[in-house]
Structure 1
Amino acid sequence: MKQVFKWSVLSLFSLQMFTSTAQEVVPNNQSDFNPIMYRQGTPFRSALGQPGDQYWQNQADYNIEANLDPVNNTITGHITLTYHNKSPYDLDYIWMYVEQNRFTETSRGTLTTPIMGNRYSGDVDGGCDISNLQAKSNKRSKASSKHIISDTRMQIIFNDPIQAKTGVATVSMDFTYKIPTSGMDRMGRLETENGTIYSLAQWYPRVAVFDDVKGWNTEPYLGAGEFYVDYGNYDYKITVPYDYIVVGSGELVNDKEVLTSTQINRFDKAAKSDDSVYIITPDEVNDVAKTRPTQKGTLTWHFKMENSRDVAFAASKAFVWDAARINLSSGKKSLAQSVYPKEVSGTDAWGRSTEYTKASVEHYSNQWFEYPYPNAVNVASNVGGMEYPGVSFCNSKSKGRGLWGVTDHEFGHNWFPMIVGSNERLYPWMDEGFNTFINYYSAKAFNNGEYPNDLIKGRNNLSYYNSKNREGIDTYPDIVNTRNLGNTAYRKPGVGLIMLREYILGAERFDYAFKEYIKNWVYKHPQPSDFFNAMENGAGENLNWFWRGWFYGTGNIDLAISYVQPYKGNYVIVLENRGDIPMPVKLKVTYDDDITEEKNIPVEIWQRGDSWNYLLKTNKKVKSVEIDPNKILPDINSSNDVWPSEVYEN
């Protein structure tokens, strides 16, 4: 009876275990691989990550005449906007940005700046005055002066709607404002030994974007969030005292009126030279007889630029000026230029600025997409570093590696977001992060790595990835803690794209998809979903797990080798995903004869769970095994990447 009872208990226990196991739901990681965000195609945006066959985009053309008064530090101007409504909707009104209104005591930007200030603190004694506004939705409609200014936005209301698809409206107005000294590290005034350098940006009222995703994009100009503006053609004139030099976005079209014959000849020489040629030498600064075609009154500098989303300019009588040709494979001409005060003109500082500008633009043109603008002008400024189409403002105190880094970064922005026009005010990772990524390769290429880029060296930045205060890449720039912005907008997305290129897809697949993304969105407005779709379609890879884990989360990577053991004449390598983000596993196996072999294990091993047994077929004795031998991944725990552990310790 005892033995029967024992058997019955064991049988019951086994049956209970079987029943319990049969009813259990086996946990898996499917949620990590599920689609992220709504990414179905529409007539406007294809599921391929391309503009759809009914994609539309409005156009804004500008004619601007402005006067710079260095005595009172003011800009006074007149603007005529020609607005082309290519959307399928009639528009009763449009929204424009008046971003000089940021520089007042009561602006939203001022009131949301911490008491102690930050990089985006600015003057508060400014603001833009608008007068004589006239708006017509077509040639026959009656002009309207109705407008409402709300902080940095201005709504203009027409008497008749702008017709869908073909409507053309005109808006004209006068504007004036005091030029801030401290313009939120984006514009302003720099005092030098020979005069003030004016860096002018966000200097005219400009139309906001009306798109198929949000309608009117009217986020206020607060600080960290940059810009989202439409493309169009620009014709602008800047009037300054006769002894001032003006450089700006686009092409100077009246050079014979504002330059001397000597300067024109020097430009001709620079257009044929790979070395910098002085247009104004350090010794000629403030020598009006040698540098200006007249010695009285004012001069008007006339610029034009096509298919641009903005224009900026700089003016001063303190400029040293040099230039060199930019070599473009198509045969089109472009010119690198630099303007800077003579006190920073040495070859350890701004004397190399044009060399840096030329190298940067040539690299990105050869690697990704050809530079479309006639000039690339670097301006020594009180601005730490800020980009506009064809013009960059960089800190006048930068030199050597620092000047290379800021120059390369700001001119890289001509690709993101000047050529590919993403929404910087909401998605800074689509311009700052993409640019940080391409900067990594540009630095490697320049002078065989004269100034190494250490973005991924030694698995940098692990302290941030482990910080309890970290935030996701998708955090809006005006919301993110300013101490985290460098990571959420720049470094983390930059590292993510390096991982995608070097570790996940490989250079060939990545480059094809990335170039297709650029080509398809030139002078257009992609959204994050468009980028995700473009990369997945172009590379042929489902990357939901990567976008969710790295771009839309705060989790970390921690791949591990639990142990390695012999198995039927081969070896079993037990791998674990101890982090939050699945990743393919690249293994370097070293045998006892010191011959190495690399094994690539796909990310799908983590779909069912967080542990995987990998069968290594070999007739050799394994000496060591290492995950990610090139240290591309920012794995937060390197100690479990190597077996046996003493290999790591040694």
Structure 2
Amino acid sequence: MNKFYKLFSLLAITSQIAVAQNILNNPGSNHGNKFEQLGTILNTPNEQRTASGAPGIKYWQQRADYNIKCELDEKALTLNGSETITYHNNSPDVLTYIWIQLDENEHNNLRNAGYQNSSRMPAGATTAQVDNLAPKTESNGYGIAIKKLTDATGKKLSYTINKTMMRIEIPALKSGAVFVFNIDWSYKITDRIAGGGRGGYEFFPADGNHLFTMAQWFPRLCVYSDFQGWQNHQFTGRGEFALTFGNYNVQMTVPADHMVGSTGECLNYSAVLTPTQLARYNKAKTSTIAPVEIVTLAEAKAAEAKKSEAKKTWVFQANNVRDFAWTSSRKFVWDAMAQPIAGKNVMCMSFYGKEAYSLYSKFSSRAVAHTIKTYSDFTIPYPYPVAQSIEAANGMEYPMICFNYGRTDADGTYSESTKNGMLGVVIHEVGHNFFPMIINSDERQWTWMDEGLNSFVEYLTEELWDNKFPSKKGPAYTIVPYMKLPKDQLEPIMSNSENIVNFGPNAYSKPATGLNILRETIMGRELFDYAFKEYSRRWAFRHPTPADLFRTMEDASGEDLDWFWRGWFYGTDPVDISLDSVRYAKPDFSTTAAGGAGRFGGGNRPGGVRVDPPAVNAFEDISKIRNRQDANIKFYTDKDLAARDFYWKYDRGLTTVDTTLAARPQVQPARLPMEEFRADEKAKYGNKFFYELNFSNKGGLVMPIIVEFTFKDGTKLMDRIPAQIWRLNELKTSKFYVHDKEVASIKLDPLRETADIDETNNAWGGGSTPSKFQLFKMRAGGAPARGQSVGSNPMQMEKKSK
């Protein structure tokens, strides 16, 4: 590495460290801060990453190809493997060592990352809990054991293991050169349900079987990049992964009665499936209407009852992927259907046990197909041949495969919250194929570029599944409780994954909401969708940074959005725009009177509430309304009637939910001082109505001001004032209106598009605003326990009544 490049790398790293700081250009002033350009807060453009947000002419990234053989020992609960890795140095640097991730060390009590949170002495504890808190001097036996490490000629390589990372010393690897090495390893598989984590096994005592989810299961390369160098931050279990693209050939030897689902395409189905199963699989390749069961429920139950002692080897190939995961169990029902994408059929498949059959057989593969089709429309065409959903009481994603939850009650019924939770997690995890599996951001550093962008497109996809779907990540009003928190409980979105207190709202919901505000309220759908597709196209199969996203969105749309990135992503201020006063005047042609101002106040009375009502959002956000009005949008449940169930009907008016609204007091008009008028002027202006609206930015986060006028004849008028009205005074602003009709009431943000945290200061006159009770109802029906029914179950009640 030459001196210039060392200096450049230092500057690049420094800019990445500074990236989370919202630097103010004019601190202490009421202007010159929120609308200033991001400037040096973003990393400096260069030949790798341009000022437009696109990859530069000298953009490069590394590549790692894997040839892996492994064997699953179900009785001993161990995995043994060997791999050959071919590492391509496409960087301009000479490398003398490489870094490998050993994620399974997370479960070892001595070799984990060692990150701890503060703790307190409880009022009491069991002896087992006390024993667990005692200092550990002996290993619990978990984590990866390196059996052998050699180069391609068999020569041993020196290595150092630092917790969840391993550094391997190698001969100087010049730019453009390739290094081949071999690793033999093994580890004890963890009980994922009891001990947590993403990979491991779940044991089913009722039938004595295991379900294995093999994730982060093999030693794999860290990313070496132009903007950071080696990404070798320790794996703590939260911040996910930074991974290198490559080609995989993987052989898994498992019990002969197991079914295996995996990243990639199977190369030997003819050797591991029965002729009947293979025929069903081939039929599913062209079934675009409904899933075909390759392994039936009866066959899965029969396999559970009689365990084979023999072994089979499954062989899978996956090209241009950043990771590889698989699942194995004799419990699996397996179904599949085809989804046409860009002229080819993608196999949409699901694996699930009998515990999830009533939900997964009806919805899972359909949801997979709907997801890859919708994401393809908003980003790039899905490039892989397979997309899979595995029911594993989990929620985690890998290329072409993901692990989800959603089990029914013992009688096969399920609550609506369980159904919606299952659909949401399948859409979310399948959607991760695009973010970050293809548009490959660094999850370890920028969780929001993975989870936030994916949650946003998940929201778009849920909305297009069913117009009644109760989406929670996207509508602006749903982020308000988080935005209301005290500042010491908040951190900017642009924070390292390990340092976030409220992880879900910060990394998932707030960025998703921000992107939806951009799409619906600030940019408009046409400009936003074009720019977002351009970002996806530019950075597919590459490593984008936040600056690449921000710059591309502006470059492709012609919108200056630095003020939005500053406030929403770099800051913690909430939106609270107050309509402080309204001056309302009529021309007085006979005298001059002093102007006056009106205030607003009042509230609503709470209405009735039902037990376990339909799980639809109490407030219809702007996306739902626009989607329903768009003649080009066809919802999945309208195209495929088989995707409708009891709750589809239940949500459409079999019961009603009472609401009660209370009116707000009016204010008396003041008179506007006028000069003497001629008769023709009196005729022209005599029926005009004048209003001066005065606003204050109480929350600190600038945002467009959306004003809805309701006139006394019942008609309405909406004015959408761009956020730039705040640019010369970020604390207070005003706007003068002339109307031909008298205004009965004024309301700010009537469709709740801006995440305003205090709606009590948003109205004047006779407008109504939700009470605290109504806000509580809107937030009712939170997320269900993962994969299980909760609360009352109307579907079950209907079944019992028959």
Equivalent pair of 1:388/1:418 in contact (CA under 8 Å): yes
Is residue 2:389 matched to residue 1:389?
no
Q: 1:104 aligns with which of 108, 116, 119?
A: 108
Partner of 1:18: none
Equivalent pair of 1:99/1:221 in contact (CA under 8 Å): yes
**Pair 1:110–1:283, CA change in 2 (3 A):** farther
Partner of 1:601: 721
Equivalent pair of 2:202/2:210 in contact (CA under 8 Å): yes
Which string of whole-angstrom CA distances, capped at 9 and with x for unpartnered residues, describes residues 128-171 of structure 1? 111221136xx9xx94511111111111111x21111x111112
Secondary structure, counterpart of 2:181 in structure 1 = strand
Is residue 2:695 matched to residue 1:575?
yes
Shift of 1:377: 1.4
Is residue 2:206 matched to residue 1:205?
no
Shift of 1:291: 12
Which string of whole-angstrom CA distances, capped at 9 and with x for unpartnered residues, describes residues 428-463 of structure 1? 1111111111111111111x3353213355822433
Secondary structure, counterpart of 1:424 in structure 2 = coil
Shift of 1:296: 6.3
Equivalent pair of 2:476/2:754 in contact (CA under 8 Å): no
Distance in 2 (alpha carbons) for counterparts of 1:458 and 1:540 = 24
**Is the strand fraction higher in 1 or 2?**
1
Distance in 2 (alpha carbons) for counterparts of 1:115 and 1:376 = 42
Shift of 1:72: 0.6
Aligned residues: 608
Is residue 2:256 matched to residue 1:234?
no
Equivalent pair of 2:473/2:508 in contact (CA under 8 Å): no
Equivalent pair of 1:133/1:173 in contact (CA under 8 Å): yes
Equivalent pair of 1:326/1:362 in contact (CA under 8 Å): yes
Shift of 1:115: 6.1
Shift of 1:493: 0.9
Equivalent pair of 1:103/1:110 in contact (CA under 8 Å): no
Partner of 2:311: 298
**Pair 1:310–1:392, CA change in 2 (3 A):** same
Is residue 2:374 matched to residue 1:360?
no
Unaligned runs of 5+ in 1: 1-24
* Higher mean C-alpha displacement, 614-623 vs 214-223: 614-623
Secondary structure, counterpart of 2:435 in structure 1 = helix
Equivalent pair of 1:129/1:177 in contact (CA under 8 Å): yes
Partner of 2:779: none
Shift of 1:500: 1.0
Is residue 2:355 matched to residue 1:343?
yes
Q: 1:641 aligns with which of 759, 762, 784?
A: 762
Is residue 2:230 matched to residue 1:216?
yes
Q: 1:562 aligns with which of 575, 580, 585?
A: 580
Secondary structure, counterpart of 1:632 in structure 2 = coil
Partner of 2:492: 472
**Pair 1:104–1:27, CA change in 2 (3 A):** closer
Equivalent pair of 2:286/2:345 in contact (CA under 8 Å): no
Alignment of 1:44-443 (within 5 A): 44-109=48-113, 112=116, 125-135=141-151, 143-158=155-170, 160-164=171-175, 166-182=176-192, 184-192=196-204, 193-194=206-207, 195-273=209-287, 274-285=289-300, 287=302, 297-328=310-341, 330-346=342-358, 348-349=359-360, 351-382=362-393, 384-395=394-405, 397=407, 399-443=418-462
Secondary structure, counterpart of 1:112 in structure 2 = coil
* Higher mean C-alpha displacement, 78-87 vs 107-116: 107-116
Shift of 1:317: 1.1
Partner of 1:17: none
* Higher mean C-alpha displacement, 630-639 vs 448-457: 448-457
Shift of 1:111: 5.1
Partner of 1:29: 31
Shift of 1:593: 2.1
Is residue 2:555 matched to residue 1:551?
no
Equivalent pair of 2:745/2:766 in contact (CA under 8 Å): no
Equivalent pair of 1:201/1:311 in contact (CA under 8 Å): yes
Shift of 1:349: 4.9
Shift of 1:521: 0.2
Distance in 1 (alpha carbons) for counterparts of 2:58 and 2:696 = 47
Which string of whole-angstrom CA distances, capped at 9 and with x for unpartnered residues, describes residues 319-352 of structure 1? 1111111221x11121111111123212x45542
Amino acid at match of 1:593: D
Partner of 2:621: none
Equivalent pair of 1:247/1:314 in contact (CA under 8 Å): yes
**Pair 1:27–1:485, CA change in 2 (3 A):** closer
**Pair 1:298–1:648, CA change in 2 (3 A):** closer
Equivalent pair of 1:561/1:575 in contact (CA under 8 Å): yes
Which string of whole-angstrom CA distances, capped at 9 and with x for unpartnered residues, describes residues 154-213 of structure 1? 11111x21111x111112110100111126431121123442110000111000000011
Amino acid at match of 2:108: T
Distance in 2 (alpha carbons) for counterparts of 1:519 and 1:458 = 27
Distance in 1 (alpha carbons) for counterparts of 2:436 and 2:118 = 28
Distance in 1 (alpha carbons) for counterparts of 2:517 and 2:384 = 31
Amino acid at match of 1:556: P
Partner of 2:614: none
Secondary structure, counterpart of 1:275 in structure 2 = coil
Equivalent pair of 1:334/1:374 in contact (CA under 8 Å): yes
**Pair 1:287–1:544, CA change in 2 (3 A):** same
Partner of 1:618: 739
Partner of 2:631: none
Distance in 2 (alpha carbons) for counterparts of 1:378 and 1:145 = 39
Equivalent pair of 1:198/1:314 in contact (CA under 8 Å): yes
Distance in 2 (alpha carbons) for counterparts of 1:290 and 1:404 = 30
Unaligned runs of 5+ in 2: 1-26, 121-128, 134-138, 409-417, 586-671, 675-687, 772-802
Equivalent pair of 2:746/2:767 in contact (CA under 8 Å): no
